[in-house]
C-alpha cells in the first residue's frame, strides 16, 4: 500500500482496510454500492465484474443517502436486468485489480473455480466530504421533505449543511454485514 500511495500522491488515503475473500465456484455477489473508496484485487481464479455508472437510475441520490445513513443494505439496492446494457464488464484474473468510481454500483460472478481475492477500502478528505454532504442531505430529506439537495462539497451550499455532517463527526447506524461487505466510518485520524 505505501508504494501505491507514492505512485498516486494526489490525495493521501487513510482509514485503510483490507479484507480477504475466499469464495466458491460460480457464486455471485448481488448488485450493490460500497460507501468507502474500494478496489478489488484477484489472487486466484477468475471473476466477472459488472461495473455500472455511479449515477441515476443506477444509484439515485436518495438511495445513496439511505445507504450512508444505514437505512438501506448494500445488496438491497434496486436492480433491473437492463442495467447490464450499460455496465462495463471486466474479467478479473489472478494478478489483476480493479478500481471504480466512488459509490459505483457493481456485481460479481465467479467463474467455475475457487476464488481468492481481497478488497481494499480507503478514505480521503474528498471522499469524507462527499460522505458528510450526503449524510447531511439524507438527514434533511427525512426531516424536512426537501427534494433538491446539492451534493457540492464546496461553496455556500456545503457550508450551510448541518455542522455535524459537514465536519464528518456523525456516526451512521451500525450497518449489517453481508458477504464480506461492510461500511467504515470516515473520521479523519489525527496522524493521517
Cβ at position 179, least distance to Fe ion in Å:
9
Q: Give the pairing of strands 37-44 and 97-99.
A: antiparallel
* 31-70 binders of Fe ion (CB under 5 A): 34
Closer of 105 and 165 to Fe ion (Cβ) = 105
Closer of 53 and 142 to Fe ion (Cβ) = 53
Closer of 34 and 65 to Fe ion (Cβ) = 34
Q: Read out DSSP for 168-190?
A: T---PPPPPPBTTB-----PPPT
For residues 36 and 122, is the Cβ–Cβ distance under 8 A? yes
Q: Does 121 bind Fe ion (CB under 5 A)?
A: no
Q: Closest-CB residue for Fe ion?
A: 34
Q: How far is CA 96 from CA 1, 20, 41, 99, 101, in A?
A: 15, 15, 6, 10, 17
Number of residues that bind Fe ion (CB under 5 A): 1
The site for Fe ion (CB under 5 A) is made up of: 34
Amino acid at each position: 500500500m505505501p508504494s501505491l500511495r507514492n505512485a498516486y500522491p494526489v490525495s493521501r488515503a487513510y482509514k485503510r482496510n483490507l479484507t480477504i475473500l475466499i469464495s466458491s465456484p460460480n457464486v455471485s455477489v448481488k448488485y450493490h454500492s460500497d460507501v468507502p473508496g474500494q478496489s478489488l484485487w484477484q489472487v486466484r481464479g477468475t471473476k466477472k465484474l459488472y461495473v455500472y455508472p455511479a449515477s441515476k437510475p443506477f444509484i439515485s441520490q436518495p438511495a445513496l443517502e439511505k445507504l450512508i445513513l444505514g437505512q438501506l443494505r448494500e445488496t438491497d439496492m434496486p436492480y433491473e436486468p437492463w442495467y447490464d446494457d450499460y455496465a462495463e464488464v471486466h474479467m478479473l484474473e489472478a494478478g489483476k485489480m480493479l478500481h471504480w468510481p466512488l459509490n459505483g454500483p457493481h456485481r460479481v460472478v465467479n467463474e467455475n473455480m475457487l476464488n481468492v481475492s481481497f478488497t481494499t477500502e480507503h478514505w480521503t478528505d474528498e471522499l469524507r466530504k462527499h460522505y458528510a454532504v450526503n449524510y447531511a442531505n439524507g438527514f434533511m430529506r427525512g426531516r424536512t421533505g426537501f427534494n433538491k439537495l446539492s451534493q457540492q462539497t464546496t461553496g455556500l451550499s456545503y457550508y450551510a449543511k448541518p455542522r455535524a455532517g459537514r465536519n464528518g463527526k456523525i456516526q451512521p447506524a451500525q450497518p449489517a454485514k453481508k458477504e464480506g461487505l461492510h461500511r467504515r466510518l470516515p473520521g479523519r485520524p489525527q496522524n493521517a
